Structure 1
Amino acid sequence: MDLGANYEIDRTAEFILSRNFTRVALQFPDELLKDSTRVVRALRDQLRLLRKCGTEQSGDNNKDIRFFVMADTTYGSCCVDEVGALHADAECVVHYGHTCLSPTTTLPAFFVFGKASINVSNCVENLSNYALTNGKSIVVLYGLEYAHSIKHIREALLEASRLSESKSELEVLFADVKCPVMNPSDDHKNSNGLVGPASDCTDHSTFGTAPANNYSIGGLTWSIPDGQRMEDYLLFWIGSDNSAFANVVLTFNGCDIVRCDATESCLVTDVSQQKRILKRRYYLVEKAKDANIIGILVGTLGVAGYLHMIHQMKELITAAGKKAYTLVMGKPNPAKLANFPECDVFIFVSCAQTALLESKEYLAPVITPFEAMLAFDRGSQWTGAYVLEFRDLINSCPLKVRNGSEEARFSFFHGGYVEDFDLQEENGGEDNEGTLALANATEKVLQLRDNPKSLIKGTAKSGPEYFAARSYQESFAKRKNGYEPHEGIMTKLEKQVHGKQCMLLRTGKSIFSESPPGF
């Protein structure tokens, strides 16, 4: 592997020197961390050569440049870790490896995608054969690590179309990569506030199409002619089955999609497993509708617009008559979220490629902001469209003020009609503060009516009320006095904690010296 070419040492050194940066953070994913010392050494050597040339011309370029290698990112490795970089007082971040190209908030960034190997002739053969047999126009998308080979694939495809005996003309559109240099001070914004690519960093060269409608996903941009829809095109993905590909499959779930596996040099036409995720997500949306206490998980502190999205989620939850808690805990995992059992569902605000958490191991579902809008905006229906970029949701859906006299809704999980908490009660609770508010919350424990098929109300609408209603609190108090409740009424958590308690009492240790299993 050519280190200089794969890590773009020359371009990176020119970027650092041209901006006069003196403190540079180098962000590596785990799989590339082994090359970090060699990259730093190569950058220093290249900067030394550039300085010599610059000193001969201007004599004013002798500032010492320090590098800081960031190994463990605060959140996903695809996003720029501005938090870690600011801890080192860095002036910019050089990001290596797979990236979502989400816009930064405070620091400029330079992206090095890497150059994964690919069999160009095999890829062109699969693309041309499938295009001729399918008969649809094709949009070619790819992982950013294969961006360096797209020019060769385009040229080889044009040559293959000339030599082909088929009279049908291939209509293939190649997506372009956004500019690898990102500066938060000069983000190009369109009328709806979304960040778009700089015009001088993209190449709209296609054959068989004329640009009109612009699309963007995962750092790729492309245009289709006016009057056509994305459903009219076949998506041809070049790369592995990773989070970027899952983002494409879910966002364009109405399109036919095939994948060219560059590592195995084969064509994968069955993506039903990825599209089956939509059924799981719809299940989580319906389950979230019955939630009363919602936790908002902050999954990024660097992607532009994340604060706006958090405030929008709070307004949405409050308007639905539910309670919201904001949680900042770094990378979420089942053990961390288990410390918040009062939350019925969590909303994960993060970049598009880390937004989908497999929540089967979690005690409560973890949904995206788009799914939260479907669940908590009364009367909204899922049309099949799916949005993972939370920046696309900002100001796109106006919040509806909930009416206190609104009719009950049907719950698929309860098998009957459910009445959400009244909005007036929620507003009344806000007027009380301090001890009075806590006392009123602990006294209100809503109960089911005698008829299980009648109207159902939620059981708790705040954290204090949830803890006041926990069944095992009284059991623990009675155990201290020598009372042992019947095993049939003990919850699973009680059994685990009680077993730990008995073991610790025998050893003479404190009951709180260890956490219960699963925490």
Structure 2
Amino acid sequence: MELESNYEIARTASFILSRNFTRVALQFPDELLKDSTRVARALRDKLRSSEDNVSDKDIGLYVMADTTYGSCCVDEVGASHINADCVIHYGHTCLSPTSTLPALFVLGKAPIGVSDCAENLYNYVLTSGKPVMVLFGLEYAHAIPDIKVAVSDFEFSRSNGSTSRLDLHFGDVTCSVMDPSENSKTSNGNIELDDGFTANQGSGNLIGTRYSIGGLSWVLPEGHYIQEYLLYWVGADNAAFANVVLTFNACEIVRYDAAENVLVTDVSLQRRILKRRYYLVEKAKDANIIGILVGTLGVAGYLHMIHQMKELITRAGKKAYTLVMGRPNPAKLANFPECDVFIYVSCPQTALLDSKEFLAPVITPFEAMLAFSRGSQWTGAYVMEFQNLMTSFPVEVRDQLEEARFSFLQGGYVEDYVSEETSEDNGDGTLALVKATEKALRVVDSDPQSVIKGTAKSGAEYFAAHRSYHGLDIRSNNSLPEPFLIGRTGKASGYEDEKKQAGEFNESANDK
């Protein structure tokens, strides 16, 4: 019964049957993979025994693990390998919007001492002198209704039955089901997200400012601002908490550690991260070659953000290269020593890489906007979700970005000048793509003595010209490298030397 409750077997089966899905991907993080076979078996039994299952087709369940990028995001690429109709995502999630596949999120039920948490919260509200906003890791969402009741009981019992009212507010889980086909779209094809704009709440007439972060959302009354609130975080010191600390760095923040049943009031270590990020922004301003790291292939809008980063870098007179390599690490990025800095386009909970061990800094799209936009200054505000940056560029930059359009036929962004030159290309688009690449490489070179200025026709040629080590170069008397053959050439089924030997053997046999 505990397995069925924690993994919400009945709810998951209802979701699959109500939408007539026949191929379902079950995505588990590494720490929950041990339960995957039992969950799949219980879910299969529930689907077969359900009265709602009137279809004769057997529903295929496919377990996914070892995601290419962060396990908190829906792995749409992995699901597409088995032509899945939907993804059931288990465990910790950032609730980043999906691009193509519908998803159901099973958040899990982490253990927590409800009474102890409620008592700490009640005491802190009384002594803080500020309104309190309770935010939490999504794995504790199941306990929030009980915590609310427990706090009300403390309030009633300790006020001798009077009806005093604590200035206490709670965030709400944004959603547990995500379907891109049902979401409203913006003009650039990205899912419309709440990001601090004025909105109505519920059926009442309350007008205020809506905030959202890490799958939580809340509305503050008109005239109230989040800086005025104390944030009470329920959960672990993880990426979700770091996201909150950076985004709301002007707020006083405390954390209730549910695993240790203790209230942590010192979050200075997390705040030091902000100083480190500011240092990386200043260092990135001196970069000439920037690598854009693709950190997700499923979060809605990632292609648009990559394109905006390219435009931003090019207008700053620098060179940009897009790199797809899965989860980055120092060894992988060391293969690109030409890059002075890397921009990591990913979900907000995997965007912060501790790049102390890397040869070059790794920054976020928001930090890149500060580093490469002329006249930009850091006001202290910090944005983790790159969807919120889509409308944060200067007006002149946004207007120029609208010149590019996304082509689903070509699988990428198509510039206007490409279509103008396709008439010279015999209809296959190859020449236009080559010319577009050449135009993209025509960037002002900061080094007038550069030996490759105006000669690089591709990213590979540019990297090759800048490398001091080119692999195995056989040199004689300090002369230029000469072709030198080591090993065999040809196909494994018959190398060239083997064919030659076979020919000589046949000739000798005929002579006999």
Q: TM-score range by the shorter chain?
A: 0.7 to 0.9
CA gap 1:344/1:400 in 2 versus in 1, 3 angstroms = farther
Q: How is 1:346-365 mapped onto 2 (pairs within 5 angstroms)?
A: 346-365=342-361
| Residue 281 (structure 1) aligned with residue 277 (structure 2) | yes
Pairwise CA distance, 1:145: 0.5
Please name the residue that 1:44 is paired with.
Answer: 44
Give the TM-score taking structure 1 as reference length. Answer: 0.76
Name which of 198, 206, 210 aligns with 1:214: 210
Pairwise CA distance, 1:182: 0.6
Pairwise CA distance, 1:61: 2.0
Residues 55-114 of structure 1: per-residue CA shift (max 9 Å, x gap) = 6xxxx4221011110011121000000000000111100000000001111100000000
Letter of the 1:36 partner, please give it.
S
Percent of aligned pairs with the same residue? 65
| Residue 14 (structure 1) aligned with residue 9 (structure 2) | no
CA gap 1:432/1:190 in 2 versus in 1, 3 angstroms = closer
Contact 1:123 1:260 in 2 (8 A): yes
CA gap 1:286/1:132 in 2 versus in 1, 3 angstroms = same
Letter of the 1:468 partner, please give it.
A
| Equivalent-residue separation in structure 1 for 2:437 and 2:328 (angstroms) | 32
Contact 2:321 2:459 in 1 (8 A): no
| Equivalent-residue separation in structure 2 for 1:284 and 1:183 (angstroms) | 37
Contact 2:291 2:323 in 1 (8 A): yes
SS for the counterpart of 1:276 is: helix
Pairwise CA distance, 1:437: 9.5
Give the TM-score taking structure 2 as reference length. Answer: 0.77
Please name the residue that 1:54 is paired with.
Answer: 52
| Residue 264 (structure 1) aligned with residue 238 (structure 2) | no
CA gap 1:280/1:371 in 2 versus in 1, 3 angstroms = same
Contact 2:17 2:52 in 1 (8 A): no
Contact 2:112 2:259 in 1 (8 A): yes
CA gap 1:321/1:267 in 2 versus in 1, 3 angstroms = same
Please name the residue that 2:77 is paired with.
Answer: 83
Pairwise CA distance, 1:17: 0.7
| Equivalent-residue separation in structure 1 for 2:466 and 2:442 (angstroms) | 13
Name which of 175, 179, 182 aligns with 2:175: 179
| Residue 325 (structure 1) aligned with residue 321 (structure 2) | yes
CA gap 1:195/1:444 in 2 versus in 1, 3 angstroms = closer
| Residue 71 (structure 1) aligned with residue 65 (structure 2) | yes
Q: How is 1:469-508 mapped onto 2 (pairs within 5 angstroms)?
A: 469-470=466-467, 480-481=475-476
Please name the residue that 1:140 is paired with.
Answer: 134
Pairwise CA distance, 1:169: 3.5
| Structure 2 gap ranges (5+) | 195-199, 398-431, 451-455, 480-485, 489-512
Name which of 367, 372, 376 aligns with 1:376: 372
Q: How is 1:91-240 mapped onto 2 (pairs within 5 angstroms)?
A: 91-165=85-159, 169-188=165-184, 195-196=192-193, 212-240=208-236
Letter of the 1:41 partner, please give it.
R
CA gap 1:284/1:159 in 2 versus in 1, 3 angstroms = same
Letter of the 1:289 partner, please give it.
K
SS for the counterpart of 2:322 is: strand
SS for the counterpart of 1:34 is: helix
SS for the counterpart of 1:213 is: strand
| Structure 1 gap ranges (5+) | 198-202, 402-429, 449-459, 485-507, 511-519
Pairwise CA distance, 1:34: 0.3
| Equivalent-residue separation in structure 1 for 2:31 and 2:242 (angstroms) | 21
| Equivalent-residue separation in structure 2 for 1:7 and 1:187 (angstroms) | 26
Letter of the 2:124 partner, please give it.
Y
Contact 1:249 1:257 in 2 (8 A): yes
| Equivalent-residue separation in structure 1 for 2:348 and 2:225 (angstroms) | 22
Contact 2:95 2:214 in 1 (8 A): yes
Contact 2:183 2:191 in 1 (8 A): no
| Equivalent-residue separation in structure 2 for 1:134 and 1:93 (angstroms) | 43
SS for the counterpart of 2:135 is: strand
SS for the counterpart of 1:212 is: strand
Q: CA RMSD in A?
A: 3.4
| Equivalent-residue separation in structure 2 for 1:243 and 1:95 (angstroms) | 18
Please name the residue that 2:428 is paired with.
Answer: none
